[in-house]
Structure 1
Amino acid sequence: KSNDEEKLKNEELRTKLNASALALQQEKQLKRDSELALKRIKTDIHNCSALITEPKLLTQRVAE
């Protein structure tokens, strides 16, 4: 193959690699965001469950 063909092939592979790296980075960020949201939900449930014996206070906390 000619040198130009090799350069073109390398550039195409580099472009694919960069696209894959970007997609991976986005997936990792989505995973972190999801884990953070889940942690917040678990914390909210834990805090509200402590108020299960006090319905009025529980209603106030859920409304917040």
Structure 2
Amino acid sequence: MVVSSVDNYAFVSDKIDATLDQMSSLMETIFRLETRGYDTTDAKDRLDRLEKELVAWKQTRAAVDARI
């Protein structure tokens, strides 16, 4: 099966959208937990990992975009 650059771009764009959705949901959860006085250290660590993942997906999209 041959995968085109356009397909790769769409795949990476979907991954970016999914990561942004996860980050948004997690930020809301962190806010709710913090307002109730809970420890959010682990959630903030997960948010940091998601931010790094987002950067990686954006770099991948830029590389795919350069090939289109």
Structure 1 Cα separation of the partners of residues 34 and 21 of structure 2: 20
**Equivalenced residues, count:** 44
1:38 and 2:6 aligned: no
Distance 1:63 1:26, change over 3 A: closer
Q: For the aligned residues, what is the CA RMSD?
A: 2.5
Q: Secondary structure at the match of 1:52?
A: helix
Instruction: Structure 1 unaligned segments of length 5 or more: list them.
Output: 1-18
Q: One-letter code of the match for 1:40?
A: Q
Q: TM-score, normalised by structure 2?
A: 0.51
Which segments of structure 1 move beyond 3 Å, counting only runs of 4 or more?
Answer: none
Higher RCO, 1 vs 2 (CA within 8 Å, ≥6 residues apart): 2
Between the two proteins, what is the percent identity of the paired residues? 9
DSSP 3-state at the match of 2:11:
helix
Please report the TM-score for the alignment, with normalisation by the length of structure 1.
0.54
Match of 2:4 in 1: 22
Q: Runs of 5+ in structure 2 lacking a partner? A: 47-68
Cα distance change, pair 27–48 in 1 and its aligned pair in 2 (3 A): same
Is 2:31 aligned against 1:49? yes
